[in-house]
Chains A and B, each alone.
Chain A
Amino acid sequence: MQKLSDRGINLLFQSGAILLALLFTTIVLVLSDAPPIEAYRNILIGSFSSWKQFSDVLVAWVPLLLATAGLLVTFTAGLWNIGIEGQITLGAIFCTGLLRLTLGGDVPPWMAISLSILAGMIGGALWAALAGVLKTFGGVNEIFGGLGLNFVATALTLWLIFGPWKRPGIGSMSGTEPFPMELWLPQIPGLRLSVWSILIAVIGIAIIYLLLQGTYFGLKLKAVGKNMRSAYILGIPTTRYMMSSFLICGLFAGLAGSIQVVAVYHRLIPSISSGYGYLGLLVAMLVNYQALWSIPVSLFFAALNIGSIQLPIVLKLDSALAGVLQGSLVLFVLIMQGARSRFTKRLLR
């Protein structure tokens, strides 16, 4: 048999998947009587035509990358942490809660912000620990446990917004009372973007990259994810490693939630996680454990999200188009992975 290089085959199938996803989305567009080229052009314009647009993409990129970074850890341990949405939400709740405590006191703003981010991380980790305990000690599959906890987190947010933390007068869906400017993460003048949050995201993914690539912790986690029984016999405390992966993912999710509060919305709103947890699951699946790849891929996904915002205005299309493209991309990449392994098996046998 002729030798095709592994990388070559990989590239072939990956680009095939992207083409198929585009083709599929185009068919959806044509079927709904929309001009496909025009739609794609508008997405590009919406995300890259100006600094302002691109900075919005970056604003979406930060929480998405942080969520993905956390999920890479749970994925490596072989866990489907669907509960990440709830963990982001709890991060936002804890962050908001701490900021509210500092209101009216004389805590310096930088300290209030730092503490609130820390509180958010702890909140996310606690929520993740719940899913982890359910999984490792209660025998509840982390997908079901996580999903359940997501609903609880949403309910908790709504209760806080309409109950204890409601705006003076009457509570509304627009969220809690916005925090004063000094409790915002410093932003670039004229833009919604904060350099600090970019820095946090980049450091975050770097930590995860190092953790998974270069440490015994990462290697052991990988062994647990691939074969728990063998890992145990090799001497790895599997339960402790699974719990740690939940906690780390929760820390990152909570960080993402905190950023949504201190750098983006400056208050608690009902859907503060903005679906970045679920989107992060897609990104993590797409990059297949490779932390560095999650940087461009999550940027691309963020661009699709931001770029499609103006579709309803310009083309009278729903902005869900981005979701169609993202979802079909993941599906086709997964299909292509299956096709590739069948193809290489055929070559081998």
Chain B
Amino acid sequence: MEVSLIGIHKYFGAVHANEDITLKIPSGSIQGILGENGAGKSTLMKVLSGFIQADKGEILLNGKQVVIESPSDAIQHGIGMLHQDPLDFPPMKVIDNFIIGSRLPLFPKKSVVYREITQLQKQFDFDLDLEAYVESLTVGERQQLEILRLLWLGASVLILDEPTTGISAPQKNKLFETLRLLAGQGKTIIFVSHKLEDVEQLCDRVAVLRQGKLVGVEVPPYNIESLVTLMFGKLVNLADRQDTCTETPILRVEDLALESPRLRIDHVNLEVREGEVIGLAGMEGSGQLLFLQACAGLVRPIHGRILINNKDLTGKRYHVLMKEGVTYLPASRMEEGLVMGLTLNEHFALAGENQGVFIDRQAIQEVTSTRIKEFNIKGTPRSTVESLSGGNQQRALLALMKNQHSLILMEHPTRGLDIESSIWIWSKLKNRCSSGSAIIFISSDLEEILHYSDRILVFFAGKVSPPIPAEATHVDQLGQLIGGKGWDKLGLPDLQL
């Protein structure tokens, strides 16, 4: 189906999120939508998929004007959207997930659905077990489930919003294969991303958005530099590596064993020195989060010792470790980091040092204003945190860190952020390192891990590699390790499942 967006305008209050966007997407093509955070990509896609309505402009499908007022309108018109976070029901079976979102009668005939879906699976080369429970699927399989569901509902236009976030390299390749197959059979694919390499690898054409405007449409072969210039209005380069590592140890982990309902980690040994950055690599749920939370005192080890600044703090609570200078920055900012409904002022008051009984609003206001400027947060002291964009929430979270820290533990420090913001955030973090802090962070972005870490721990199904110096490895090796291969070369047995 050919999709035409004509003169789309969308305002959020004073912000012009989409400004006169006109874009024609031919049938059977893979259209990339590229842009940094807040460029208006998601807004445009939400307009097309009926989550929000444009203030001005038209949508034409196969040349016919349509009005899309809700997501169910959109699917009626054949437009399906795959969200960043899967919208499924983990405790239910795959087959039931199909039936839930459909317009079948009260007592649907499962056998018919079964047959239809099996046929679709064959047509598009999917291999999902319909009787499996959704919670047992990988993130990649859950994406497949969602794609299949949209196809079954009759989607001929598929919108994918940042689909490569949080999936492994093989899963990504599989996804791209599927998308090419779908496009080959006449489906229109719209692929939203801020990752240049993904777009370069997959898309037949790319539209670049910047500050709400469509600034260019490119076709292969792509010139990466010109795409970057279109995205940011200028060229951006990764900062050079800087070595801030010293000899003074901050954290010592001795023969640590951890256990969660899903997995068990044994015999972890690690010494982290001031100024050092340790990257934790692995597929989501391989044990790296468990390890990070154990270092924060949020998970109690079942064996071994954790020493911070030469003090044995094994089994102590997070608040005790905090006093020793440990800070934990979670990935789910709104659930675990910031408090919805409170303003930036209130957050800085809460995080501030030397609190008395009464709040000195004047002083807090000053602190907040300084931090807002210093961390380049787009918001005012009186803005509530939920009114900030994701990138600004992350900046706020960083800005809340107290000044003296010895150990910063982070989950996905730049997830969902564009290159420029990521570079900026890492420059702030590196500053902390040069003043003596150490960082341990989790990331699903191997490039990020390689570029910023001094040493890397790889996690696979609860197994932990010895620390690997970042200079001694490369993306391919890490990719294999997180997939369970090549462990014998580290002097460990291969861990194929």
The residues of A with any CB-CB pair to B shorter than 8 Å are: 1, 214-217, 219-220, 222-223, 226-227, 229-237, 348-349
What's the nearest-Cβ distance from chain B to residue A220, in Å? 7
Question: Of the 9-residue stretches B201-209, B240-248, B334-342, B437-445, which lies at the interface with chain A?
Answer: B334-342
Q: Which of A1, A222, A223, A236 has the most CB of B within 10 A?
A: A223
Q: A349 contacts B330, CB within 8 Å?
A: no
B400 CB-CB contact with A under 8 Å: yes
Interface string of B315-342 (1 = CB under 8 A from A): 0001100100000101000011111111
Q: List 12 A-B contacts (CB under 8 A).
A: A215-B357, A216-B357, A216-B359, A217-B357, A219-B359, A229-B336, A230-B337, A231-B350, A233-B330, A234-B350, A235-B319, A237-B319
Which of B12, B13, B350, B357 has the most chain A CB within a 10 Å cutoff?
B350
With A223-B339, A226-B339, A226-B340 in contact, is A236–B357 under 8 Å at CB? no
Q: For residue A230, which residues in chain B have a CB less than 8 angstroms away from its CB? A: 335-339
Residue numbers in A under 8 Å from B356 (CB-CB): 216
On chain B, the number of residues with a Cβ less than 8 Å from chain A's Cβ atoms is 28
**Which residues does chain B contribute within 8 Å of A231, judged by CB atoms?**
339, 350
Which residues in A have their C-beta under 8 angstroms from that of B335?
Answer: 227, 229-230
Give Cα A217–Cα B357 distance, bound, in whole angstroms: 7
B215 proximal to A (CB < 8 A): no
Of the residues B11, B319, B328, B338, contact of A1 by C-beta under 8 Å: B11
Hey, which chain A residues are within 8 Å of B359, CB to CB? 214-216, 219
Judge whether B350 and A236 touch: CB under 8 Å.
Answer: yes
**Is B349 among interface residues, defined by CB-CB distance under 8 A?**
yes
Let me know if B13 and A223 touch, CB within 8 A: no
**Is B400 within 8 A of A226, CB to CB?**
no
Given contacts A215-B358, A226-B339, contact A233 B328 (CB under 8 A): yes
Look across to chain A and name the residue whose beta carbon is closest to the beta carbon of B51: A349
Chain B residues, Cβ within 8 Å of A222: 342, 346
**Which of A227, A237, A348 contacts B339 (CB under 8 A)?**
A227
Please, how many angstroms separate the alpha-carbon atoms of A236 and B13 in the complex? 35
Closest 9 CB pairs of A and B: A227-B339, A216-B355, A226-B341, A223-B339, A230-B339, A226-B339, A229-B336, A349-B52, A214-B358
Task: Judge if B351 is at the interface, Cβ distance under 8 Å.
Answer: yes
- B 45-73 binary contact with A (CB < 8 Å = 1; else 0): 00000001000000000000000000000
Given A214-B359, A216-B355, A235-B322, is A223 in contact with B336 using a C-beta cutoff of 8 Å?
Answer: no
**Nearest-neighbor residue (CB-CB) of B356 within chain A:** A216
What are the interface flags for B343-365 relative to A under an 8 Å C-beta threshold, 1 for contact and 0 otherwise? 00011011100011111000000
The residues of B with any CB-CB pair to A shorter than 8 Å are: 11-13, 52, 318-319, 322, 328, 330, 335-342, 346-347, 349-351, 355-359, 400
Chain B residues near A214 (CB-CB < 8 A): 358-359
CA of A349 to CA of B51 in the docked complex: distance in angstroms?
A: 9
Which residues of B are found within 8 Å of A226, using beta-carbon distances? 339-342
Tell me, rounded to whole Å, the shortest Cβ–Cβ distance linking B394 to chain A: 14
Question: Which residue of B has the minimal Cβ distance to A233?
Answer: B336
A-side contacts of B349, CB under 8 Å: 216, 219
Closest B residue to A234 by beta carbon equals B350
Take A214-B359, A216-B359, A349-B12 as given contacts and tell me if A227 and B340 are in contact as well, using a CB distance cutoff of 8 Å: yes
A348 touches B342 (CB 8 A): no
A229-B335, A235-B351 given; name 18 further pairs at CB < 8 Å.
Answer: A214-B359, A216-B349, A216-B350, A216-B359, A219-B350, A223-B339, A223-B342, A226-B342, A227-B335, A229-B336, A234-B339, A234-B351, A235-B319, A236-B350, A348-B12, A348-B13, A349-B12, A349-B52
| Residue among A220, A231, A233, A236 with max Cβ neighbours from chain B (10 Å) | A233
The A interface, classified by DSSP as helix, strand, loop or mixed, is helix
Distance A220 CA – B339 CA, assembled complex (angstroms): 11
Contacts of B351 in A (CB 8 A): 234-235
Which B residue's beta carbon lies closest to that of A227? B339
User: Which of B330, B338, B339 gathers most chain A CB within 10 Å?
Assistant: B339
Report B62 CB to chain A, min CB distance, Å: 28
The interface residues of chain B lying within 8 Å CB-to-CB of A217 are: 357
Among residues of A, the one whose C-beta sits closest to the C-beta of B329 is A233
Residues of chain B contacted by A229 (CB below 8 angstroms): 335-336
User: What is the distance, in angstroms, from B57's C-beta to the closest C-beta of chain A?
Assistant: 16
Distance to closest chain B CB from A78 (angstroms): 11
List, in ascending order, chain A residues with CB within 8 A of B342's CB: 222-223, 226
CA distance in complex: A232, B328 (Å): 11
Contacting residues, chain B, for A348 (C-beta < 8 A): 12-13
Interchain CA distance A348-B319 in the complex, whole Å? 39
In the complex with contacts A214-B358, A216-B359, A234-B400 CB distance below 8 A: yes
Contacts A216-B357, A349-B12; A233 near B337 (Cβ below 8 A): yes
* Cα separation A229 to B328 with both chains bound (whole Å): 12
How far does the Cβ of B336 sit from chain A's closest Cβ, in whole Å? 5
Minimal Cβ-Cβ distance residue in B for A230: B339
> What's the Cα separation between A220 and B351 when bound, in Å?
10
A220 to B346 CA separation, bound complex (whole angstroms): 9
CB-defined contacts of A1 to chain B, threshold 8 Å: 11, 13
Are A223 and B350 in contact, CB atoms less than 8 angstroms apart?
yes
Enumerate chain A residues within 8 angstroms of B346, measured Cβ to Cβ.
Answer: 219, 222-223
A residues in contact with B319, CB < 8 Å: 235, 237
Residue of B nearest to A220 (CB): B350
Query: For A1, A235, A236, A348, which residue has the most chain B Cβ atoms within 10 angstroms?
Result: A235
| Bound-state Cα–Cα, A214 to B330, Å | 29
CA distance A230 to B358 in the complex (A): 22
Complexed CA–CA distance, A84 and B351 (Å):
32
A238 to chain B, nearest CB (A): 10
With a CB–CB cut-off of 8 A, which chain A residues contact B400?
Answer: 234
Q: How far, in whole Å, are A227 and B350 apart by their CA atoms in the complex?
A: 13
Per the bound structure, the CA–CA distance linking A348 and B15 in Å amounts to: 11
Taking CB atoms, residues of chain A closer than 8 Å to B355 are 216
CB distance from B134 to the nearest CB of A (A): 25
A232–B341 Cα gap in the complex (Å)?
16
CB distance from B359 to the nearest CB of A (A): 6
B339 cross-chain contacts in A, Cβ below 8 A: 223, 226-227, 230-231, 234
A222 to B330, CA, bound (A): 21
Could you tell me the distance in whole angstroms from the C-beta of B417 to the nearest C-beta in chain A? 20
Neighbouring B residues of A227 by C-beta, 8 Å:
335, 338-340
Bound-state CA distance A215–B341 (Å) is 18
Looking at the assembled complex, report how far the CB atom of A208 sits from the nearest CB atom of chain B, in whole angstroms. Answer: 15
B344 to chain A: closest CB distance in Å? 13
How many Å lie between the Cα of A55 and that of B132 in the bound state? 70
Residues of B within 8 A of A215 (CB): 357-359
* Bound Cα distance A1, B11 (Å): 9
CA distance A222 to B350 in the complex (A): 10
Instruction: Give the docked Cα–Cα distance between A87 and B340 (Å).
Output: 31
Q: How far is the CA of A217 from the CA of B359 in the complex (A)?
A: 9
State A222–B358 Cα separation when bound (angstroms): 15
Q: Give the docked Cα–Cα distance between A309 and B319 (Å).
A: 54
CA distance A348 to B358 in the complex (A): 35
Shortest beta-carbon distance from B11 to chain A in Å = 7
In the bound complex, what is the Cα–Cα distance between A229 and B339 (angstroms)? 9
Distance between Cα atoms of A227 and B346 in the complex (Å)? 14
B323 CB, nearest partner CB in chain A, Å: 9
Alpha-carbon separation in the docked complex, A235 to B335 (Å): 15
Q: Which residues of B contact A233 (CB under 8 A)?
A: 318, 328, 330, 336-337
| Separation of A349 and B11 alpha carbons in the complex (Å) | 8
